[in-house]
Copies of this chain bind each other. A is one copy, B any other.
Amino acid sequence: MKAYQEMNKEELLSCKAGLKKEFEDAKGKGLKLDMSRGKPSVAQLDMGMDIFDVLNSGTDMKSKEGVDVRNYGVLDGLIEAKHMMADIMGVSAENVIVYGNASLNIMYDAVSSAMTHGVMGCTPWCRLEKVKFLCPVPGYDRHFAITQHFGIEMILVPMTPQGPDMDMVEKLVSEDESVKGIWCVPKYSNPQGYTYSDETVRRFANLKPAAKDFRIFWDNAYAVHHLYDEEDRQDKVLEILSECEKAGSPDMVYEFASTSKISFSGAGVAAIASSKGNLECIKKTLTIQTIGYDKINQLRHVRYFKDFEGIKAHMRKHASLMRPKFQAVLDVLERELGGTGIGSWTNPNGGYFISFEAMEGCAKAIVAKCKEAGVTLTGAGATYPYGQDPKDSNIRIAPTFPTPEELALAADIFVLCVKLVSVEKLLEGKAYKIAV
């Protein structure tokens, strides 16, 4: 296919006329499709329904250690739930505290308590003149929302297929004591689906931060969320806690995970993994904050999945549903935009998203055009702090919730809008290159 940038004005105008007609036809269909939300599909949720048969009125409600899970007690989670979450993260159970239904909440609490009480004896961040976080971009809007909420300055760090730009990370972290954290999704990153290379993880572990209370916020949200069953198409990420320990900085990481996209979104089990020192500091706050989290739901999960093999088997079932969805979108992208020079996209081995890069200055217009034709996408800019994508080029595609048929339809509209907006911008002389 001819690259749009190589077309002359006449070709562009003729192309535009055809696209406009196509767009009006599409609009006329009155579609209502949604590729905006990274949430599991109904069929996927149905796959986990037998978890509700695990507990019934006759069930023994004692944990492995003899705890009656229906009563108060056990601040940091059932031992068997610790093991389950530890297996997901590839860490030791003694490094784990099991929380309630959402890892986002744990991240919020970690930042919130660093603000009011400080990290392991350091000055509370609210008393500092300036606190900064590094934000690999594009990234997860809810991470950025937490740091924005607490008035933390966010510094953009470009993502690469191997992870964040580590030269920049090393420089900023080692030179600036006000840099207190970095948001990371190390595996199948949101939105690109990139997985940090071993070198990236090792460079993280070997950071020499200016701030004693610098912490890596390691959101291992997609630890077992592979799209393919073949070993060689399953990304692996080095276990960071032990890498940090080897590097002499055992306290540098907070790792987060949950079963939100394993069992049920919003009704799963979440956990933090960290060093003994960090966990002790966290428990000092936790013991004030709660008597304990929902141990019944912990028990339900453990008895249902049984062990890590059970979780992996369940995730293979999820993958069987999700693969055709990703494929449906990728097929349309490749067929319609391959070689046009007006877009590039990722083809991840797991996670919940495909990341699309339009020509600079086109993302907002594309999302708006899609909306006009009945296709909802994640708002352009959402993958950047403050909702501002400096190049206005990144669009997050979430193919997990709709059916493959809906996705093919939605992707058709999407590529049509990409073409139309790109042609218009080229005619205006406003956009020429793909951002990445």
Contact = CB atoms under 8 A, between A and B. Distances in A.
Interface of A: 37, 39-40, 42, 45, 48-53, 55-59, 61, 68-73, 100-102, 104-105, 108, 112, 115-117, 126, 142, 145-146, 149-150, 260, 264-267, 285, 288-297
A266 B72 contact: yes
A296 B301 CA distance: 14
A296 B264 contact: yes
A101 B150 contact: no
B59 A52 contact: yes
Nearest to A58: B49
Given A57-B50, A126-B126, A267 B104 contact: no
Nearest to A265: B72
A266 B101 contact: no
A29 B59 CA distance: 35
B267 A39 contact: no
A135 to B, nearest CB: 15
A267 B57 contact: no
Given A50-B57, A116-B126, A267-B294, 10 more contacts: A42-B71, A49-B59, A53-B56, A72-B266, A112-B112, A115-B116, A116-B116, A126-B126, A266-B291, A266-B296
B68 A267 contact: no
A306 B118 CA distance: 45
B53 A68 contact: no
A105 B40 CA distance: 28
Nearest to A127: B126
Contact of A105 (B52, B68, B108, B290): B290
Among A45, A50, A285, A294, max chain B CB count under 10 A is at A294
